[in-house]
Amino acid sequence: MRQRLESLLPRAWMRRGPLALALLPLSWLFGIIGAVRRKLYAAGWLASSRLPVPVIVVGNIFVGGTGKTPFSIWLVKALRDAGYSPGVVSRGYGASAAATHHVTAQSSPAEAGDEPLLIASRAACPVMVGRDRAAAGRALLAAHPEVDLIITDDGLQHYALQRDIEIVLCDDRGNGNGWLLPAGPLREPARRRRDFTVVNTSGALPNVPQPAFRMRLDGTFAERLSNSGEKQALTAWWQANTPGFSSAPETKSLKLAAAAGIGNPGRFFAMLRASGLEFEELPLPDHFDFASNPFEGISADVILITEKDAVKCRQLDALKHDPRLWVVPVTARIEGALLDQLLEKLRGRSPA
């Protein structure tokens, strides 16, 4: 039943059809509860904390993946290049620890969650996870006094932590049918306030609040999971499968597959197809834990996976030595003057 709902609802959320209309009264109730909660925080009836350094929240109102993690990695690196010493706090989806937990590149996904672990590995910055993001922020500052700015990954609705800048991510799905959960895909109203909108798309920008900036995720090579030093350009596999391409390193046809346990697997598959690849698709549930081996029955020479899935596959003996698994790192490219405008806002924020 859960799998059927996970398949049915995303399609229903893109239009105002019979199922969405039937769920609309529940959306009204959801909206009322959310509005009351926000007003209670604004009035001080619910406690919220301010940290002694600026806080940037990166989140989404569209339920599911919109590219927050690669954007957060880009943001950490961009702010570091601008002279800041950023750290990251996160809820840590699937993290086992109830209290705050310091994340390093050597942490396990079970302790830290897959996305914080990926941020710690790729961005090489201090990362702290915890259900209470304000407590996680204080713990991060205590452990790393050099940190002078905190980015919260997926904390848009966590109003217990006050913030200075809000960045809302979406993709080419825009706001879907524009309704709140469960009739639509939105956690909060589409026109909620924010400082910036970042749209993960290579196509036309959907109707979203301004200022909006386009983000593109690029992946041009893969590295073998069992040997991260062994890399392969994606175009080489395209050449190997193209008849008559004389410069191909090998002439035999390779059978490719691609798997993605992210919020929007289709986006990963579309990026690979843009490199000219043809492959069997294996979409997995978001934050798939690999308790069972989804690749066991696949007859493929190469299986391309996401970085988010790789952090878990590296922990499992049945997967980390599978020579067919290749990881495709992605890099966020942000168009426009987002960084300049963000830095301008930060300059107007005095430490608490």
> Measuring CA to CA, which residue among 162, 151, 173 is closest to residue 61?
173
Distance CA 284, CA 36 (A): 36
DSSP-assigned letter for residue 57: E
Residue 244 among known ligand-binding residues? no
Find the length of the chain: 352
CB 37 within 8 A of CB 159: yes
Q: Is 65 assigned to a binding site? A: yes
152 is in an annotated binding site: no
Q: What is the DSSP code (8-state) at residue 180? A: B
Give the count of alpha carbons within 13 A of 7, CB side only.
Answer: 6
Which of these, 140, 168, 153, lies nearest to 90 by C-alpha position?
153
CA–CA gap between residue 3 and residue 240 (Å, rounded): 37
* 66 annotated as ligand-binding: yes
Token couple for 168: 């809302």
Give the whole-angstrom CA distance, residue 286 versus residue 261: 5
Whether 251 has a binding-site annotation, put simply, is no
Any idea which residue has 């690849």 for tokens? Answer: 277
> Is 68 labeled as ligand-binding?
yes
Amino acid at 88: V
Binding residues: 62-69
Binding residues for ATP: 62-69
